[in-house]
Amino acid sequence: CPLLGYAVEKKMAKGKVGEKVGLPCCHEIPSTESLRNYRVYWQKNTTEVVLAYAEGKKISENERYKNRTELNMTNLTLWISPVEILDNGPYQCVVQHLKVLQNSVAPRIVCDEPVTLFITADFSEPNITAEVRTSSCESDEVVVRCSSHGGFPKPKISGALNNESVVWNATWVSEAGISPYNVTGNLRLNVTEDTSLTCSIEYNGFAKSTSLLLKKRSDCVLPTIPPSYNVITASSIIIIVFLLAVTLAARFLPRHGKYTSFFKKQS
pTM over 0.85: no
Measured on CA atoms in the order 157, 160, 166, 168, is the torsion positive or negative? negative
Higher pLDDT: 201 or 11? It is 201
Query: Looking at residue 21, what is its pLDDT?
Result: 97
Residues 143-174: tens digit of each pLDDT: 999 999 999 999 999 999 998 999 999 999 99
Report how many domains make up the chain.
2
- Mean residue pLDDT across the chain: 84
Q: Which domain holds residue 143?
A: 124-214
Above 90 in pLDDT, residue 102? no
Same domain (yes/no): 49, 105: yes
Share of the chain above pLDDT 70, in %: 78
Query: Looking at residue 232, what is its pLDDT?
Result: 64
Side-chain half-sphere CA neighbours of 100 within 13 A: 4
What residues have CB less than 8 Å from 10, skipping those under 6 apart? 2, 24, 26, 115
Does any domain span residue 221? no
Same domain (yes/no): 103, 133: no
What is the DSSP track for 151-182? EBS--EEEEEETTEEE--EEEEEESSTTS-EE
Same domain (yes/no): 38, 136: no
Same domain (yes/no): 71, 112: yes
Above 90 in pLDDT, residue 252? no
Does any domain span residue 164? yes
251: alpha, beta or left? (left if phi > 0; alpha if psi -120 to 50): alpha
The alpha carbon of 89 is separated from its chain's Cα centroid by a whole number of angstroms, namely: 24
